[in-house]
Amino acid sequence: MTVYLNGEYMPIGEARVPVLDRGFLLGDGVYEVIPVYARKPFRMAQHLARLQNSCDGIRLANPLDAARWTALIGDFIGRQDFADQNLYLQVTRGVAKRDHAFPQGAQPTVFMMANPLVTPTAEQFDAGVPAVTANDNRWQRCDIKSIALLANVLLRQVAVDAGATESVLLRDGYLTEGAASNIFAVKGGTILAPLRNHLMLPGITYDTVIELARAHGLPLEVREISEAEVRAADELWLTSSTKEILPITRLDGRPVGSGKAGPVARRMLALYQTLKETP
Ligand code: PDD
């Protein structure tokens, strides 16, 4: 696998960062995951805008502007020998003597890798996945796509330890998101989406689902969603760039709605697939 590190391409086994990199020592950096279908990045402008927001959120000067990111990513995609890619990019505050305070004059570290993009199969969509609820104990800036993911790691492991795929996070009795995804509910045919605020990552897939619902006149409410509403939902979905729209069909061991993928999820996935083909 060819990766990109600070201006150079190299096999992944040869890519090295110094141990004083602030990403390694302090988790001081931000990242993006961009899905690439048939060598075309999906919603690249939105991902780059979110990267800029993440950089602004941690007061890090983005080392590249959107045009240069676009050119670099385009070149990088062309170097991979698979067409559907899960493109990961990361920017850290660079290498400096360890100190919490920002270093003077450090160059940001820029890293990119691509793995084959494996989206859920039709069978996996139909069956859906199990999830568990967990207490969202993360910080107050979940809108920043930070590489400091320890809380997300621990919360995701809660699901894995319970034999589930994802943790549905509740903060003060309200739905925020998943450990590595956004969460939607459906009740009586209406799609319910949690408020897009600092307590969740503004998912590009989340935004796309809302855009599609509005464009196609599907009933939608973007508002606070209580734990009781989560538990009484007809459908629950998780969304992300790699999982697309994936039904949650069991929550804390109990079936969600019919216990299978619901009709609104099916409609939304069809709209999403069409958009992927004609972005
Ligand atoms: N995660 N919320 C969290 C906490 C996430 O980590 C992700 C994605 C999302 C969905 O965002 P998007 O639709 O833009 O992928 C929401 C990526 C895939 C990851 O960390 O690998």
Average pLDDT over residues 131-152: 98
User: How far is ligand 1, taken at its centre, from the CA of residue 9, in Å?
Assistant: 26
User: How far is ligand 1, taken at its centre, from the CA of residue 181, in Å?
Assistant: 5
Residue of 113, 201, 212, 239 to mutate, ligand 1, most atoms within 8 A of C-beta:
201
pLDDT exceeds 90 at position 1: no
Neighbours of 40 (CB within 10 A): 15
pLDDT exceeds 90 at position 262: yes
Burial of 65 (0-12, 13-18, 19+ CB in 10 A): exposed
Taking every pair of C-alpha atoms in the chain, what is the biggest distance, in angstroms?
Answer: 57
Burial of 140 (0-12, 13-18, 19+ CB in 10 A): exposed
| pLDDT over 70 percentage in the chain | 100
- Rounded distance, CA 75 to CA 275, Å? 24
pLDDT value, residue 278: 81
Ligand 1 contacts (CB < 6 A) are: 33, 152, 177, 180-182, 201, 203-206, 239-242
Average pLDDT over residues 132-148: 98
pLDDT exceeds 80 at position 279: no
Interaxial angle between packed helices 204-215 and 44-57, expressed in degrees from 0 to 180 and rounded to the nearest 10 = 130
What integer best gives the mean pLDDT of the chain?
98
Residue-wise pLDDT for 209-243, tens only, equals 999 999 999 999 999 999 999 999 999 999 999 99
pLDDT value, residue 263: 98
Average pLDDT over residues 176-194: 99
Has 145 been annotated as catalytic?
A: yes
User: In this structure, are strands 129-135 and 182-187 parallel, antiparallel, or unpaired?
Assistant: unpaired
End-to-end CA gap in the chain: 27
